[in-house]
Structure 1
């Protein structure tokens, strides 16, 4: 494999797979060969924020004020 950049969809899939613990060894190796880790960090932070906001919304619907 070469050292080219992953597309946005590849980064999103890699972050989602790693969050759920189902990242394949080949994809993990491909991710570590990337030139920069910043896209993975940005997508990971966005994923985390979406997760927290969705949990807050679910709890606020289940437990009304």
Structure 2
């Protein structure tokens, strides 16, 4: 069992990644959103968001190319 999170503590890397993914899908909890705005670094969330977007685009390009190459056979 994990220890309860301290809402007055700066978010760690894992929490930043989870918050970025939750924001991308629109399912962020109000408790985590409040923690992010209160104690999080804007730079960390911007970097995380840009990296997520770049990885997402690369995955989409790969999937489209894969589908198109299979359809051309």
TM-score when normalising by structure 1 = 0.89
Q: Where in structure 1 are there 5+ consecutive unaligned residues?
A: none
Q: Where in structure 2 are there 5+ consecutive unaligned residues?
A: 1-6
> Which of 56, 59, 70 in structure 2 is aligned with 1:51?
56
TM superposition shift of 1:35: 5.0
TM-score when normalising by structure 2 = 0.80
Rg (Cα) greater in structure:
2
User: What is the aligned-residue RMSD (CA, Å)?
Assistant: 1.4
Aligned pair count?
64
Q: Describe the superposition over 1:7-52 as per-residue Cα deviations: whole angstroms up to 9, x where unpaired.
A: 1000000010011010001110000002521101101100000000
CA distance in 2, matches of 1:35, 1:44: 14
CA distance in 2, matches of 1:36, 1:63: 41
Q: What's the secondary structure of 1:33's corresponding residue?
A: helix
Which residue matches 2:15?
10
